[in-house]
A and B are shown apart, each in its own frame.
Chain A
Amino acid sequence: GAGVSQSPRYKVAKRGQDVALRCDPISGHVSLFWYQQALGQGPEFLTYFQNEAQLDKSGLPSDRFFAERPEGSVSTLKIQRTQQEDSAVYLCASSRLGGGRNEQFFGPGTRLTVL
Chain B
Amino acid sequence: AQSVTQLGSHVSVSEGALVLLRCNYSSSVPPYLFWYVQYPNQGLQLLLKYTSAATLVKGINGFEAEFKKSETSFHLTKPSAHMSDAAEYFCAVSDHTGGFKTIFGAGTRLFVKA
Contact = CB atoms under 8 A, between A and B. Distances in A.
Interface in B58-114: 90, 92, 94-95, 98-107
Given A103-B49, A108-B43, A109-B43, A42 B105 contact: yes
Interface in A101-115: 101, 103-109
A50 B104 CA distance: 20
Contact of B100 (A43, A55, A91, A108): A55
How many chain B residues sit at the interface, stated as a range, is 20 to 34
B44 A106 contact: yes
Interface string B1-32: 00010000100000000000000000000001
Interface residues of A, number: 29
A48 interface: yes
A48 B46 contact: no
Contacts of B36: 106
B43 A4 contact: yes
A4 to B, nearest CB: 7
Contacts of A35: 104
A100 B92 CA distance: 11
Interface of A: 3-4, 31, 33, 35, 40-45, 48, 50, 55-56, 58-59, 91, 93, 99-101, 103-109
- 5 cross-chain pairs, A with B, having the tightest CB-CB distances, nearest first: A42-B104, A100-B94, A106-B43, A48-B100, A101-B32
17 contacts: A31-B100, A35-B104, A42-B92, A42-B107, A43-B90, A43-B104, A45-B102, A56-B100, A56-B101, A91-B43, A99-B100, A100-B32, A100-B98, A104-B44, A105-B45, A106-B43, A109-B43
